Amino acid sequence: MNPKRYLFYISQDYAYGILRPLQFAIRERGGEVAWFLEGQEVSAKFLHSTEKQLGSLDEVFAYQAGATVFPGNIAPTFLPGINVAVFHGFDAGKVDKRGRNDHYKIRNCFDLYCTQGPESTGIFESLSSKPRSYHVKQTGWCALDPLFSSTQTVSDTRPTVLFCSTFSKRLSCAERLYNTIKQLSQTGKWRWIVQFHPKMSRETVEKYKSLTCEHLTLVETDDINPLLHQANVMLCDTSSVISMFLLLNKPVVTFDNISPGDHLSNVSDENELERALLSAFGKPAELMRSIEAYGQQVHPYSDGLSSQRTLDAIDYAVANTSTLIRKKLDILRQYKMRKKLGYWRF
């Protein structure tokens, strides 16, 4: 295996934006990156001409990466090198069918968790066995490096609301708030930017697209960072993008959030929405103190160097694989993974 070679294993288009800052840091250090695209929900059309794609698992094994990086929850455990989890977002409080937080599941897939802040670091460390079967290193989230290093200027100075919503029908507020947002956008009081999760139903996307006017724009993009900078206030439901906006010290109004804290302005009645947004634009002092305290726990880094810390963590994990005990073998999950990949060599 070559410790200077890294494999990026992705299954969703939004993973490009998550991993490209890490790719930049790897290249700065003289390393090499290859991408492997798994499944039908990720498109090679978003690859840049300078980026290398491996088209099969045979090519992956021939590449012999020292580390494979996953912006996801599960991973095949039979690839060369160590498996590194860098997450596809922040903890949004979502739970599985058994009521367990889906962000903090140990699926015996990873050798290294690159955590985002004290909150996630502490939880992953507490879940680890003694002796450990994985490393935990607090690095910050590589996806946010461009967010904090951006020098973007905002040309449209109108007060702006960024409306985001998750795709889950159980958690999404997009349909419930459609008429309210339609009414508020038509007043011209605020500029509205609408951006949905890539898995949002096309029917809902088209409904909001029909509201397009001088005061409302629907944006479909794999890079939400510029939109976060443009907006003054976010309106959302239960999504990890909330944390990204809060880390810029900007208020978020949520609708029926499943685990609202003092750092959010949460409402459950459409009639309260305009009042809550007005209040958020004023940045109440108590709310802003709660937002700052939340950021220190979730992601205390604003230096744009999380990718560098991630590479240091990977170097450490590669050099210390012998200190880990063997993971429990999840036969069913790995069988399903092999079946999905159509790979049966051992």
Domains of the chain: 2-141+301-341 (3.40.50), 152-298 (3.40.50.2000)
Among 82, 123, 117, residue whose Cα is nearest residue 103: 123
- The model's confidence at residue 2, banded by pLDDT at 50, 70 and 90, is confident
**Tokens 């290093």 found at:** 149
Among 330, 323, 329, 331, residue whose Cα is nearest residue 130: 323
Q: Rounded to an integer, what distance in angstroms lies between the CA atom of residue 114 and that of residue 99? A: 25
> Region 299-308: what's the mean pLDDT?
97
Range list of β-strands (E), the chain: 2-10, 32-37, 52-53, 65-70, 82-85, 112-115, 135-138, 160-165, 191-196, 216-218, 233-236, 252-255, 265-267
Q: What is the pLDDT of residues 179-236, one digit of tens each?
A: 999 999 999 999 999 999 888 999 999 999 999 999 999 998 878 889 999 999 999 9
pLDDT at 272 over 80: yes
pLDDT of the residue at 95: 64
pLDDT of the residue at 96: 66
Q: Rounded to an integer, what distance in angstroms lies between the CA atom of residue 176 and that of residue 256? A: 11
> Region 28-35: what's the mean pLDDT?
98
My answer on whether omega of the bond before 131 falls inside 30° of 0, hence cis, is yes
CA atoms within 13 A on the CB side of 185: 24
Among 91, 97, 89, residue whose Cα is nearest residue 198: 89
CA atoms within 13 A on the CB side of 287: 19
Residues above pLDDT 90, as percent of the chain: 76
Helices and strands of the chain, counted as H and E runs: 12, 13
pLDDT at 75 over 70: yes
- The model's confidence at residue 154, banded by pLDDT at 50, 70 and 90, is confident
Q: In the chain, what is the straight-line distance between the N-terminal and C-terminal CA atoms, in Å? A: 17
Q: What is the pLDDT of residues 85-141, one digit of tens each?
A: 999 989 877 666 666 677 888 889 999 999 999 999 999 999 987 889 999 999 999
Q: Rounded to an integer, what distance in angstroms lies between the CA atom of residue 32 and that of residue 52? A: 9
By DSSP bridging, strand 233-236 and strand 216-218 are unpaired
pLDDT at 337 over 90: no
Question: What's the alpha-carbon Rg for the chain, to the nearest Å?
Answer: 21
By DSSP bridging, strand 65-70 and strand 160-165 are unpaired
pLDDT of the residue at 341: 86
pLDDT at 289 over 80: yes
pLDDT of the residue at 204: 96
The token duo for 222 is 């794999």
Q: Rounded to an integer, what distance in angstroms lies between the CA atom of residue 191 and that of residue 171? A: 25
What pTM value is reported for the model?
0.88
For the chain, give the longest Cα–Cα distance.
63
CA dihedral over 90, 93, 94, 97, signed as positive or negative: positive
- The model's confidence at residue 333, banded by pLDDT at 50, 70 and 90, is confident
What are the residues whose beta carbons fall under 8 Å from the beta carbon of 85, sequence distance 6 or more?
Answer: 70, 72, 73, 75, 109, 110, 112, 113, 114
Q: Rounded to an integer, what distance in angstroms lies between the CA atom of residue 218 and that of residue 196? A: 9
Could you tell me if 87 and 112 are in contact, meaning their C-beta atoms sit under 8 angstroms apart? no
pLDDT of the residue at 336: 87
What 3-state class would DSSP assign to 215?
coil
pLDDT at 42 over 80: yes
> Region 157-163: what's the mean pLDDT?
95
The token duo for 258 is 């499943």
